[in-house]
Structure 1
Amino acid sequence: MASDRADSVLESHRTSLLELIEDRNKALNKKNLLHRMVYIASLRNEDADSDQIANYHENLKKNLESAQQYSEHVSITGLLLVYTKHIVHIVETTTEMLREVIKDSKKNMESSNGIFSQVKILVVSHDIPERLYQNWMFKTLEIQSARLDSYDSSESTDKIVLDCLIQLLKLGNHVAKIPKGNFKNSFDQLHSKVPDLLPQQAMLHFLLEEDDCSMMTVKEYLNMYEQPYDVVLDSELVWPLPTRLFPYN
């Protein structure tokens, strides 16, 4: 009798969180989960042409989308801010495409002819409900910073990162509310209309130079996917090995 009850427990189906998420996505006609990544980088050449940098990222976007048999579910949207010595890139797409973007950034950084000298990931937000940006766009900010090493803050690094992300989210909300008929003029005047929503270049320099665990390097991010996950459990260090009476123990 007891064995029958144990068998019924083992055979009974329990709905998992993954199944709930998949059912929700099917109801929304959503084939892939949507993720958002924000990363910053310093430019190797301070005299680099901003249009060339934008074209590089736009070509990368087109190549990745064509390789994935482009559809709205795997498209890349976001915003690229090009400063005189740094960039901020917000990318919204699938996790596979995010990984390809970071792979390209790592390859670019390690190349002697690359445009990046350093890249750091500020955040990766998983399973976001909707896109903040409906298209991919870029903005050149001709903002000169007198002294990049002049940034001084009593706040912790993770608080500075959080403040930067809040700025960018507010910037995305602002851009989303711009009327289509006046979009180009308003978008071109972001630095004069909403300067408080644009991260300071000195702050970007500070974050790139700071060695803090609140930010992730491209190597650390890729290692999570490319290196085998090997963990020694405490139970494996005990002898004799514990006896498992039931599969779910």
Structure 2
Amino acid sequence: MSGPSDSPEPPQLERRSLLAVWRERRNRAAEGRFPLHRLLVVARPGEGAAAEEVAGHHRGLFENALEDHSGERVSGLLLLCPSYICHVLESCSSTIHLVIQDLASLQNQGPNALLQEIKVLVVAHNIPTRLFPDWYVAIATSPVPSPQGSTQSDSTAEVVAECLTLLLKLAAYIQSLEDDSEDADESVHTLEPELLIPAETINYLHNAEECTSPEDFLRIYLSPSQPVLDSETVWPVPSHFSV
């Protein structure tokens, strides 16, 4: 007969105090490391906007962000297709916020803006690691084939998840290029069509009410949260009498 000492001990769960989490964040900030965030944006190129112009605009924006904020470098992919632009960015919160502000500024420039119909699809906070080792620009010169089936029957969340799945495949493909070649920039320009997001999917997201514009995203994000306390409904006592 086995005794109590023979029974397996339950696994010990690591419990971290709030103080330990605060100290870890303070140490990361002191070492110059910031929490990473990921931004996914889709848009349409403005009339007459060249791919090099769009890429140069963002490259200059990232350089200014590093000079002004001394934050994390930017990684990700700017995918330039004939009918749409998909941009995934990984960096610190100050750079992500600066990029969204810039997109909102472009949105307010009217029909002559560099980008049109800008939609913020996803902002993922405190991501554990980067998907992309660097920031790349890929140009697709041919139309992207549509997959079997229609996105009209899918929800917006499912369509966004489809975009994220394709981006994960793109990130894995680019990482393999980095491992096999010293210079992957040229190879990224020749992405396989099955790795690209179909234009039909982007059209669906542009019409989805759940996807916000940069201006609306900033308005919601910067709006203070002011819950009404129970005491505020009691004191001061509202006066219903007129003198």
Q: Shorter-chain-normalised TM-score: which range?
A: 0.7 to 0.9
Counterpart residue type for residue 138 of structure 1? V
* Corresponding residue of 2:174: 175
- Counting matched residue pairs gives 216
1:228 to 218, 224, 228: 224
Q: 1:85 aligns with which of 79, 83, 86?
A: 83
> Are the aligned partners of 1:34 and 1:129 in contact in 2 as well (CA < 8 Å)?
yes
2:155 matched residue in structure 1: 156
1:236–1:196: structure 2 CA closer, same or farther, 3 Å change rule? farther
AA aligned to 1:230 is Q
Please report how far the alpha carbon of residue 124 of structure 1 lies from its aligned counterpart in structure 2 after TM superposition: 1.1
Matches of 1:22 and 1:163 in 2, distance apart? Answer: 38
Shift of 1:196: 2.3
After superposition, what is the alpha-carbon deviation per residue over 1:165-200, rounded to whole angstroms, capped at 9, x for unaligned?
111122112211212246245323213xxx222101
What residue is the counterpart of 1:244 in the other structure?
none
| Residue type at the aligned position of 2:77 | L
Q: How many angstroms apart in 1 are the aligned matches of 2:20 and 2:217?
A: 27
Matched-pair contact (CA < 8 Å) for 1:42–1:205: no
Aligned to 2:44: 42
Q: Which residue of 1 aligns with 2:65?
A: 64
Maintained 8 Å contact 2:39/2:88: yes
Cα deviation, 1:8-32, whole Å, max 9, x if unaligned, reads: xxxxxx931x742642773795621
Are the structure 2 counterparts of residues 93 and 152 from structure 1 closer, same or farther at C-alpha, using a change threshold of 3 Å? closer
TM-score by length of 1: 0.75
Give runs of aligned pairs for residues 191-206 of structure 1, distance below 5 A.
191=192, 195-206=193-204
CA distance, structure 2, for counterparts of residue 160 and residue 88 of structure 1: 14
**Alpha-carbon contact 2:144-2:199 (below 8 Å) kept:** yes
Structure 1, unmatched stretches of 5+, are 1-13, 242-249
Q: Does 1:217 align with 2:213?
A: yes
Per the TM alignment, residue 66 of structure 1 is displaced from its structure 2 partner at its CA by 1.4
CA–CA distance in structure 1, aligned partners of residues 235 and 126 of structure 2 = 42
For the pair 1:130 / 2:143, whether they are aligned, the reply is no
Report % sequence identity: 28
1:85-124 equivalence runs, <5 A: 85-112=83-110, 113-124=112-123
Determine whether 1:51 maps to 2:52.
Answer: yes
Distance (Å, rounded) in 1 between the aligned partners of 2:185 and 2:135: 14
Q: In structure 2, what is the equivalent of residue 20 of structure 1?
A: 21
C-alpha contact (below 8 Å) 1:105/1:119 kept by paired residues:
yes
Which blocks of at least 5 consecutive residues in structure 2 are unaligned?
1-15, 238-243
> Contact (CA 8 Å) 1:39, 1:120: kept in 2 or not?
yes
- CA 1:128 to 1:154, structure 2 compared with 1: closer, same or farther past 3 Å? same
| Deviation sequence 1:186-215 (CA, Å, 0-9, x none) | 323213xxx222101121122112222xx2
Q: Is the 8 A contact 2:28 2:34 kept in 1?
A: no
Deviation at 1:68, TM superposition (A): 1.7
